[in-house]
Structure 1
C-alpha cells in the first residue's frame, strides 16, 4: 500500500448511502449536495461546488424547458444519449448540431453559463436506452454574466492515460471584457472555460493502476484548495479507489470524498483497488 504524502490534508469520505435519493419513475437521482426537496446541512456546498447529481433518465423522458440563472451548470455523460436544446430552437428546426442543440453521448460535456437567465431542455429522446450522467453546478465568481453554452468531447482513450482536464477558469478572469467573454478562452487549452476558480478532471484507472492529481490542476488562482472526488456507479459495484494511500479513504461506487487542507502543487494519489476500472471525477475548487 502507498503511504500518505498529504499528511496535513483532511480526507472525509461522503458515502453513497448518505446522499439524497429520489426516484420518480422516469428519473432516478442521487444528490451529493442538498438539492430540490432534499436538504442536509452537512452537504450544502464545497467551495464553489454547489451541486453534484448522479442521474439516470428513462427513454423518451427528461427535463422539459426550464430556466437557469447565475450558476455554471454542466452535464458529464457516462452512458446513453441526452439531447440539449435551447428554448429558442424549435424541435425539428435546429439546423444540425451546435452549442444550442447537441445530442450528447458518452464522453460529451455540455456546459451552460446561466448568467442573467437562460432556458433549455435536457431530454433523453432515445426510444430504448437509459441515459446516465452527472449534473454539476458551480457558483460563479460574479452574478449577471452573459448566458453562454459550450459542448466538447473528451475521449476514453485519453482518460485511460492520465487525468484529462475538462474545465478550467476563463483565462481573462473575473474582469473579462465583452470581447474576451465572447472569445471564451480557457486557462488550459482544449478545456471548457468556467467563470470560477475551479478545475475539473476525469480519469479511467485500470485495476491496480494509479493516477496523480496535482492540486490546482495547473490553472487555479487561490493557493489553498478544496478537492472533491467522485466515483460514479458504473461497474456494478466492482470499481473501488483509495486516496492518498489511506485505508480510511477507500471509496466504492457512488461514494465521494472531501479533501481539505491542500495547496496548489500538492499531489493527490488515486489508486484503483477494485476488480474493474474506475472512472474518477475530480472537482478542484477554492
Structure 2
C-alpha cells in the first residue's frame, strides 16, 4: 500500500497488549498504565495519560471518588451512565444540569479536576450494560477551577467525516478569569480542554476513507502526536487501515502516530464489512 505520510511513524498498540481487569461489575481494558496495571512502554503519549475501555453492569458503578489536576472525559458508546456530583442528593437534582446527567450514546462528559472535585458514575439502568471510553489528559497547568461540560455529538455527523469533540480553551495556558468563565473552545461546537489537545470521532462506512487533519487548525504546536483507538463495538468485525499501511487495526487496537505535523492529512479507511467507529486523540 502507498503511504501518504512517509515521514510518520505508525506503531500499532494491539488490544492483547492492554491491561485488563474483570471485577464482575466492571470489565475494563487499559491502553495506558492505570490502577494496578503498569507497563513502562505505555505510560503516556504526549498529554494523553489514560484510555480505558469500560463496561459496567446494571445497578453498579463507580461510587463517589475524588479527582484533581487531570482533564477527564467519558465517551458513551452504548447503554447509559449517570453522573452525580457529590454535592447533590439522589432524587433532588431537579432535572438535567451540569451536576446531574444521564448520558447515552453520543454524549461526552468532560471534567476539569483542577483543585479537586468528587463525583460518582453509575449505571442505574435495570438491564443494560454501559460501554464507554474514559480518557484522561494532562492539563497545561495545575490548580485550575473545577468544571463540568456535557455535549451530544450525533452519529449521522460522524458518518460524514471526523467530528471534532474537544479543542483547546481559547486563551490557552494564560487564559483570563473571563475566558475561563466563558469556556469558549477553539473549535465552535466542541468542549474546551485545558491542553494542546484535540479529540475527534467518526463512524466510517465499509470500504470508505475519512481524513483527519492533524491539529484540526486549533492547536499551538506544529509537531504533533496522534493516537487512534478502535472501540470494541461490532463483535470483532471492525477492521481499519491507517495511512495506507499494511497493518490492520482490529477492535480494541490502537496506533501511536509520531512525527506528524499540524495540517497533515491522516487517512483512516474502514476495510472490513461493517461500519468502523474510530476515535482520534491529537496532542502536542
Q: Structure 1: how far apart are the matches of 2:196 and 2:71?
A: 12
Q: CA deviation at 1:264?
A: 0.4
Corresponding position: 1:23 with 2:15: no
Instruction: Provide the residue aligned with 1:182 in structure 2.
Output: 181
Q: Structure 2: how far apart are the matches of 1:228 and 1:184?
A: 25
Q: CA deviation at 1:172?
A: 1.4
Instruction: Provide the residue aligned with 1:154 in structure 2.
Output: 153
Residues 206-247 of structure 1, C-alpha deviations (whole Å, 9 max, x = no match): 100100001101201100000000000000011110000010
Corresponding position: 1:112 with 2:104: no
Instruction: Provide the residue aligned with 1:165 in structure 2.
Output: 164
Q: Structure 2: how far apart are the matches of 1:9 and 1:20?
A: 26
Which has the larger displacement, 92-101 or 16-25? 92-101
Query: Secondary structure of the equivalent of 2:215?
Result: coil
Corresponding position: 1:83 with 2:86: no
Instruction: Provide the residue aligned with 2:243 in structure 1.
Output: 244
Structure 1 runs, 4 residues or longer, greater than 6 Å off: none
Instruction: Provide the residue aligned with 1:34 in structure 2.
Output: 33
Q: CA deviation at 1:177?
A: 1.4
Unaligned runs of 5+ in 2: none
Instruction: Provide the residue aligned with 2:56 in structure 1.
Output: 57
Q: Structure 1: how far apart are the matches of 2:208 and 2:267?
A: 10
Q: Structure 2: how far apart are the matches of 1:10 and 1:177?
A: 37
Instruction: Provide the residue aligned with 1:274 in structure 2.
Output: 272
Residues 115-170 of structure 1, C-alpha deviations (whole Å, 9 max, x = no match): 00000000000010000000000000000000000000000000000000000000
Corresponding position: 1:144 with 2:171: no
Instruction: Provide the residue aligned with 1:98 in structure 2.
Output: 97
Which has the larger displacement, 21-30 or 213-222? 213-222
Q: CA deviation at 1:179?
A: 1.6
Q: Structure 1: how far apart are the matches of 2:187 and 2:238?
A: 29
- Equivalent residues in 2 for 1:185-224 (5 A)? 185-224=184-223
Residues 85-115 of structure 1, C-alpha deviations (whole Å, 9 max, x = no match): 1100110001110111100000000000000
Residues 169-213 of structure 1, C-alpha deviations (whole Å, 9 max, x = no match): 001111111121011000000000000000000000010010000
Length, aligned pairs only: 284
Q: Structure 2: how far apart are the matches of 1:65 and 1:217?
A: 35
Q: Structure 2: how far apart are the matches of 1:239 and 1:145?
A: 39
TM-score with structure 2 length normalisation?
0.99
Residues 28-82 of structure 1, C-alpha deviations (whole Å, 9 max, x = no match): 0000000000000000000000000000000000000000000000000000000
Query: Secondary structure of the equivalent of 1:174?
Result: helix
